[in-house]
Amino acid sequence: MEFNPGSVTDFGALQKYARYDGHMTLITKRFLLCSAALALSGSLFGFAAYAAPTAPASKSHNVPGLAGALLAARHANATADNVTATDYYARALELDPTNNALLWWSYSAAATAGKMDAAIAAAKRYYDSTERPFPLAGLLLATGHYQKKEYDQAWSYIDKVQSDSYLSFTLPMIRAWAQAARNTPDAALAELAPLQNTQGLGDLYHLMGGLLNEHFGRNEDALIHYDALASKVERQPLSVIRIVAGGYHRLGKSASVKQLLEKFNTQNASVGLSDMANALQDASRFPKKVTLSDGMAETYFAISQLLSQNGGNNNVTDVSIAFGQMALYLSPDLNIARWVLGSTLAMRGRYDESSAVLTAIKKNDPSYLGAQFQIVDNLTALNQETDALAKLQGMGREYPAMPEIQMAIANLHRKAEKFAEAILAYDKAEQLYTAAKSDNWTLHYGRGVCYERTKQWPKAESDFMRALKLNPDQPDVLNYLGYSWIDRGENLTEARRLIELAYSKSPDNGFIVDSLGWAIYLTGDYKGAVSYLEKAVELEPADPTLNEHLGDVYWKVGRKKEARFQWQRALTLKPEAKQKVSLQAKLEQGLAQK
């Protein structure tokens, strides 16, 4: 049985608290249905198929011709390298400047890469040559004008975005700030009205209502919206708390910020998250007034977050990234947007781009630590564990009282099977959690794994029991402790109960399914174990132990050729030395019949 550590940083889990709540059920479903239909034909950014090239390919050996540039750009797109894709699309457009398909590929790649000037230029050429342009092109053009304070021109593009487009749910916010820029307060606030009664978007109505009223100097109305958000502090993410805190500071209610953060910290006990929240008590961190650029940037940031909660649809995620880049284009200091954008880029496997975006966040910003932890995860994903460890150690020197850093160091050591070093880091994290009057089941679970792997079973058992006390239904802990007892021939009845409970909580976890199958196997019910052990290998085909177990049960039920196949396969999956010897013996002699 293996332990899958996932992200080495516990801090990555805090990012959900930076995002808007995922309550927009009907809106999300409508958007995803639209996106699915569009994805069948191509991209959410635009056209489906590439028109035939109209320019001849270059014969130069140094500069790619049209076909070469297009292939290189599409390959870069496929590997989520939109920075490189943008450059190759630009080359292709030099050779085929009127091809609309190239133009939409160009503006979409440039927008997600953060090359906004290039995105706006390509979007303009596409927009002017298309009868019914896709909405993002118009919004890019509007953003360019908005950034230049050319508000009437911006409105001319926003007003033409179709209300039945796949971005229709975003239009009330965008239109509101576009109207605000034209100095029409009542019209701007009226644009927000549809959000008020739309399921899942009520908080956004209050968020934008607060900012808009504050921008217009309607401070009492702004406070009504901020108070509505503060009254539900237990369900609010940090991104919303940040807006409310800023509004309270500007409107003379700094004392309310302290109360707001105390309630927030009661609901979110993590030391790292509390540190980020407590930084919001400093009024100097917030702008003195809500500008038009700030308002539209916050709108784009909110849209980016809502789209990033789409469950892994790459097309939708790319649109989310584009809106995040648009937010930063209007407000480069909106670092919480930079942090969330960095995490979204990482979700798309664009780890270098993610780190480049996050590196711009300075140490005095509340999102700095979150950004640093994401960079660590990026380095780990790129198999640069030495650099990841060096960064974590540097963070530990900067923040010696933060247990999450020591936890990340411990997880990284455990992943590298440096169990002694991991235990030392877990011990240090435990001391820091105790000082903060907190506790963490993952610490006891991770350290328990290290103790078990280094043959210190009493300590391992103690940690697993502590983890279960803190989180009684956690399937990984239930499984590891139950399997360990079975492997040791101890507490077999209770072990079987723990594993069955783990299976009920996580029936598609291959290691848990294997544990249940193996528990059944050890009772002598070989036929009953087969289906579970087969399912386990289907779920985790590259694990040597699971393949060995399946071979064992096949042998017991008389399927000896299949048994030898599984044992032979297990040998190819880099088993540990002791397991390798056992597998070779089984291949030579089979299993003894009892």
- Top pLDDT among 70 and 585 is at 585
Q: 65, 85, 67: which is closest to 75 by C-alpha?
A: 85
Tens of pLDDT, residue by residue over 548-569, are 999 999 999 999 999 999 999 9
The alpha carbon of 3 is separated from its chain's Cα centroid by a whole number of angstroms, namely 21
Question: Given this model, what pLDDT does residue 38 score?
Answer: 33
pLDDT at 32 over 60: no
Question: Given this model, what pLDDT does residue 14 score?
Answer: 37
| Residues 484, 486, 490, 491, CA torsion sign | positive
Number of residues that this document lists for the chain: 594
CA distances from 292 to 56, 182, 286, 327 (A): 46, 10, 15, 12
- Burial (0-12, 13-18, 19+ Cβ within 10 Å), 429: buried
pLDDT at 365 over 90: no
pLDDT at 508 over 70: yes
Q: 357, 328, 327, 322: which is closest to 343 by C-alpha?
A: 357
For residues 307 and 45, is the Cβ–Cβ distance under 8 A? no
Write phi, then psi, for 39 (nearest 5 degrees). -65, -30
CA distances from 588 to 146, 438, 550, 583 (A): 75, 53, 17, 9
Which of 35-44, 86-95, 296-305, 387-396 is predicted least confidently?
35-44
Residues 6+ apart with CB under 8 A from 69: 88, 89, 91, 92, 95
| Residues 141, 142, 144, 149, CA torsion sign | positive
Between the two ends of the chain, the Cα-to-Cα distance in Å is 25
Q: Coil, strand or helix: which one is 39?
A: helix
Topology at the third CATH level for domain 498-594: 1.25.40
**CA atoms of 533 and 519, how far apart (whole Å):** 10
Tens of pLDDT, residue by residue over 233-258, are 888 888 899 999 999 999 999 999 99
For residues 137 and 126, is the Cβ–Cβ distance under 8 A? yes
**CA atoms of 549 and 540, how far apart (whole Å):** 12
> What pTM, to 2 d.p., does this model score?
0.77
- Domain span(s) for CATH 1.25.40.10 in the chain: 43-166, 498-594
**CA atoms of 100 and 477, how far apart (whole Å):** 55
Q: 155, 210, 143: which is closest to 184 by C-alpha?
A: 155
Question: Given this model, what pLDDT does residue 108 score?
Answer: 86
Per-residue burial over 265-296, b = 16 or more CB atoms within 10 Å of its CB, e = otherwise:
beebebbbbbbbbebbeeeeebeeebebbbbb
Long-range contacts of 395-401 (CB under 8 A, 24+ apart): 395/369, 398/363, 399/369, 401/432, 401/435, 401/436
**Tokens matching residue 523:** 């009772």
**Tokens matching residue 444:** 């006891």
H-type alpha helices, 159-237: 171-181, 185-196, 202-215, 219-230
Question: Given this model, what pLDDT does residue 312 score?
Answer: 59
Topology at the third CATH level for domain 43-166: 1.25.40
Residues 6+ apart with CB under 8 A from 486: 492, 495, 496, 499, 515, 518, 519, 522
Question: Given this model, what pLDDT does residue 278 score?
Answer: 82
Tens of pLDDT, residue by residue over 106-127, are 888 889 989 999 999 999 999 9
- DSSP for residue 58: P
**Tokens matching residue 60:** 């130069």
Tens of pLDDT, residue by residue over 377-432, are 999 999 999 999 999 999 999 999 889 999 999 999 999 999 999 999 999 999 99
Tens of pLDDT, residue by residue over 351-361, are 999 999 999 99
Tens of pLDDT, residue by residue over 60-89, are 445 568 777 777 767 766 666 777 777 777
Q: What residue type is assigned to position 581 of the chain?
A: V
Q: What percent of the chain has pLDDT over 70?
A: 86
